[in-house]
Amino acid sequence: MDDFDKRKFNEVEAALNTLGEKAFRAVFLNLLRFDQTVIYANVQPDEREVINRFLTIEELCKIFDALEVEEMETIRFLKEMTPRLASAILSDMYMDNLADLLGRMSRSDLATYLNLLPKEQIQEVRELLNYHERTAGAIMTTEYISVNQNETVASVMEIVRKRASQAEIIYYVYVEDETEVLVGVVTLRELIMNDDSLTAKQFMKTNVFKVLVEDDQEIVAQRVKEYNFLAVPVVNTTDHLLGIITVDDIIDVMDEESTEDYSGLAGVKVDGDEQSPWISALHRMPWLLTLLLLGMSTASLINHFDSLVSQASILAVFISLITGTAGNAGTQSLAIAVRKISVQNYHKIWKIIRNEVITGIIIGVFAAISITIIVELWKHSLALGMVVGISMAAAITVANLAGSLIPILMDKIGVDPAVASGPFISTLSDLTSVLIYFSVAQIFINSIM
């Protein structure tokens, strides 16, 4: 919470503790939903208990629908309540949020709460729970509006009006034929602009943009971003409508995916709340110490070439220049490859790798020429310059290969490519760069001395 939020929070907390139910409701219900959730999640448990009494089930349910704290937190809030109140709230929540929440519960909690729900809802939740994580099915909601294609504008509007309080989005109405196959979509905009007696079939858009229930959420987000929709329908392979995904969920997916890519590149989770330095250190340490061990192989490789360094200590001067430059180039390739993997078809992937390697060769040659000239001017040794130059060109090319190949291989074997982080690639590239450098130096050692 920043300062402004904290002031607001203190005001409402004071109102909760000093004013009665009516006055508190007046203050609290005038807040924006997001602010309500922040306050609800941050008051003391006994204060939350008072809020639970002061608000109606519908009001509490809206807060639970909007709560964006960790699911574990939300489950804790439910456990603070009587099972009766908890089940009343759960059965009023939007299906996608409910499924999200139940999906995170322990088996015993899940059994408890599932049993408290109305029978028909249990069935629906079970279905949503069975869709694979990170697919369209897992993030869709089943609260949408659909009508038969022969309904008139007047009757569709009547349906919209009736469903308006429950449906998550009412601005699209999906149109089905007699066999319940999705055949069209009409917008609320079109409904209020068209004549009451027209049927949906007469003005619906038949080229419906839709996604399959098993589609990856990242692909869905990419598509929605391109096509600028407020919601997309989710269908099965026989084109029957199963649910919709709304733009706010798409935004969450985009945010999640971009944070993941970014975290991967940095080799650190960036989405944690403010943490104490101890906890931050604890989170970063395992990865850094793993890389330290990988770095030890580079150290023992240099150790292996100890006699070479003893003969020509000048070689030590260029170690960090070569490993650094190759590491930088490899990180660039990695970033490009990770981004392209997520939106490309598989058969394009070899093209990505090929392009990165060729790019590496071009950059490598230019870097090699530059450094050869610099070393020649500085140390008056063309041989040394060429050793450094050739090594650098080769090291950059190998780093680009590793930077693009490794995340792609990881993706192929089903591991999140973001694990092949920037620090990992640059530490690995240190190893190959040193190997290349000293091998080249070994060949030319007589010219250097």
Q: Rounded to the nearest whole angstrom, what is the least distance from the CB of residue 387 to a copy of itself in the complex?
A: 13
Closer to a copy of itself by Cβ: residue 130 or 370: 370
Q: Rounded to the nearest whole angstrom, what is the least distance from the CB of residue 213 to a copy of itself in the complex?
A: 19
Closer to a copy of itself by Cβ: residue 181 or 343: 343
Q: Rounded to the nearest whole angstrom, what is the least distance from the CB of residue 247 to a copy of itself in the complex?
A: 6
Q: Show the 3-state SS of 215-226.
A: CEHHHHHHHHHH
Q: Which two tokens stand for residue 245?
A: 């995904």
Closer to a copy of itself by Cβ: residue 105 or 232: 232
Which amino acid is residue 403, in one-letter code? G
Distance CA 157, CA 163 (A): 10
Strand 231-235 and strand 211-212: pairing?
Answer: parallel
Contact partners, residue 147, CB within 8 Å, separation at least 6: 155, 156, 159, 173, 174, 175, 176, 200
Q: Rounded to the nearest whole angstrom, what is the least distance from the CB of residue 81 to a copy of itself in the complex?
A: 25
Phi, psi of 233, rounded to the nearest 5 degrees? -80, 145
Cα torsion 160, 162, 165, 166 to 10°: value is: -80
Place of tokens 């140390």: 379
Q: Rounded to the nearest whole angstrom, what is the least distance from the CB of residue 263 to a copy of itself in the complex?
A: 7
Closer to a copy of itself by Cβ: residue 86 or 367: 367
Closer to a copy of itself by Cβ: residue 147 or 160: 160
Strand partners, 245: 232
Q: Rounded to the nearest whole angstrom, what is the least distance from the CB of residue 7 to a copy of itself in the complex?
A: 13
Contact 198, 153 (CB under 8 A): yes
Closer to a copy of itself by Cβ: residue 102 or 371: 371
How crowded is the C-beta side of 183, counted as CA atoms within 13 Å? 15
